[in-house]
């Protein structure tokens, strides 16, 4: 559990949600402090959306409580909802409405008075890049624009808290970068909880990560801590200087290098006669120089030597193992 300094803006206290006999979310607790950008991570069907629906007052928890901005959602849903900007999964919007009418409609229900609404609309449209599509029907928009309209709608009343359910799902790589930039910018003055199953997304935008698996929180720590834990990985491709290579011999030689924890053979690289290995370093050490010397001493050539930072992907995989398609 990471230290959460300062006042917590979003708080889940033992949230549980049952649908009949299935338990979608079980005893989920976490806190998000003011100004944090937290990634809510988990395989499909892990309970991310269900948890977010409980935080925003759409679903009532079977047990436990959600508190947003100091307001218990169950007791004062409207009060809590006023503090939240929420983008539901896959950005459901009124397709038959024009973008500008839709934003006015949301603004009205948000209680943004007509005079402020104009200036807010201008700010938000500029921020989300909507100026060109204001007069279009939402149904005609591309996925990227829909997502932006969904974000704009969540930002209209200048909320303290943003809850975004898969804000980049279904977007092309350019659009993903744009939305991420926008989220990073918003993170400067807002508290954001965003869910995703795209790992680089979290590394790109979040200061903290909560990983949820089968309805329970399995990790809650800073992005840095979760990505630095497992030790560095080194990709190696070697070839023989003369004659054929014995894979077991090469492997043994590499494993003997100080600072190496394990060596795994990888699928055949493209070059004929070459061998590929994945070397896991021990702790924070960097055995690359020693690997190079070992190769020279062993009489083989290093075609590739490339260090990967231990990725969130590994942490995620090890925490959410056994997640077959059937569970998704």
Partner 1 sequence: MRNVLAIMKRELRAYFDAPVAYIVLVAFLVVAGWMLFSQVFLIDRADVRGLFAPSPFSPSLLLVILAPAVTMRLVAEERKTGTIELLTTLPVTDTQVILGKYLAALGLLTIALLATLAYPITISFLGPLDWGPVLAGYVGLILFAAALLAIGVFCSTLTDNQIVAFIVAFILCAALYFVFWLQILLPQSLGAILEYASVSFHLDNMARGVIDTRDIVYYLSLVIAALFLSVQSLSRRHA
For partner 1, the binding residues (CB under 8 A) are 19, 50, 53, 56-59, 78-79, 81-82, 84, 86, 88-90, 92-97, 101, 105-106, 108-111, 153
- Residue closer to partner 1 (CB basis): 151 or 237: 151
Helix or strand run (H / E) with residue 86: strand 84-87
Where do runs of H (alpha helix) occur along 90-244? 99-109, 114-128, 143-155, 173-186, 199-205, 223-228
Could you tell me the smallest distance in angstroms from the CB atom of residue 113 to partner 1? 10
DSSP state of 210: E
- Residue closer to partner 1 (CB basis): 139 or 273: 139
Distance CA 154, CA 278 (A): 44
- Residue closer to partner 1 (CB basis): 24 or 281: 24
241 to 230, 235, 297: CA distances (angstroms): 33, 19, 12
Could you tell me the smallest distance in angstroms from the CB atom of residue 166 to partner 1? 13
Could you tell me the smallest distance in angstroms from the CB atom of residue 108 to partner 1? 4
- Residue closer to partner 1 (CB basis): 164 or 263: 164
Could you tell me the smallest distance in angstroms from the CB atom of residue 1 to partner 1? 28
Helix or strand run (H / E) with residue 44: none
Could you tell me the smallest distance in angstroms from the CB atom of residue 164 to partner 1? 13
- Residue closer to partner 1 (CB basis): 109 or 224: 109
226 to 39, 112, 268: CA distances (angstroms): 12, 40, 30
């Amino acid at each position: 559990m990471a230290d959460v300094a300062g006042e917590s803006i979003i708080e889940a206290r033992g949230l549980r949600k049952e649908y009949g006999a299935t338990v979608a979310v079980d005893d989920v607790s976490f806190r998000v402090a003011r100004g944090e950008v937290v990634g809510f991570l988990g395989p499909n069907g892990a309970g991310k959306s269900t948890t977010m629906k409980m935080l925003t007052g759409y679903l009532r928890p079977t047990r436990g409580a959600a508190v947003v901005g100091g307001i218990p959602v169950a007791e004062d849903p409207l009060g809590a909802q006023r503090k939240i900007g929420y983008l539901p999964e896959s950005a459901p919007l009124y397709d038959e409405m024009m973008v500008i009418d839709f934003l006015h409609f949301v603004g009205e229900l948000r209680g943004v008075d007509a005079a402020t609404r104009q200036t807010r609309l201008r700010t938000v449209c500029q921020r989300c890049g909507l100026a060109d599509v204001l007069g279009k029907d939402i149904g005609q928009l591309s996925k990227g624009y829909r997502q932006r309209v969904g974000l704009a709608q969540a930002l209209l009343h200048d909320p303290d808290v943003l809850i975004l359910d898969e804000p980049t799902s279904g977007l092309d790589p350019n659009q993903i970068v744009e939305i991420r930039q926008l989220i990073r910018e918003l993170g400067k003055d807002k508290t954001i909880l965003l869910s995703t199953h795209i790992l680089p997304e979290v590394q790109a935008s979040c200061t903290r990560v909560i990983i949820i698996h089968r309805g329970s929180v399995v990790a809650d720590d800073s992005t840095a801590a979760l990505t630095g834990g497992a030790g560095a990985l080194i990709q190696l491709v070697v070839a023989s200087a003369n004659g054929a290579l014995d894979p077991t011999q090469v492997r043994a030689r590499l494993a003997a290098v100080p600072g190496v924890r394990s060596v795994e053979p990888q699928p055949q690289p493209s070059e004929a006669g070459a061998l590929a290995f994945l070397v896991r370093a021990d702790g924070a050490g960097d055995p690359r120089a020693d690997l190079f010397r070992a190769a020279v001493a062993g009489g083989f050539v290093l075609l590739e030597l490339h260090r990967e930072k231990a990725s969130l992907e590994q942490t995620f995989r090890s925490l959410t193992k056994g997640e077959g398609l059937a569970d998704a």
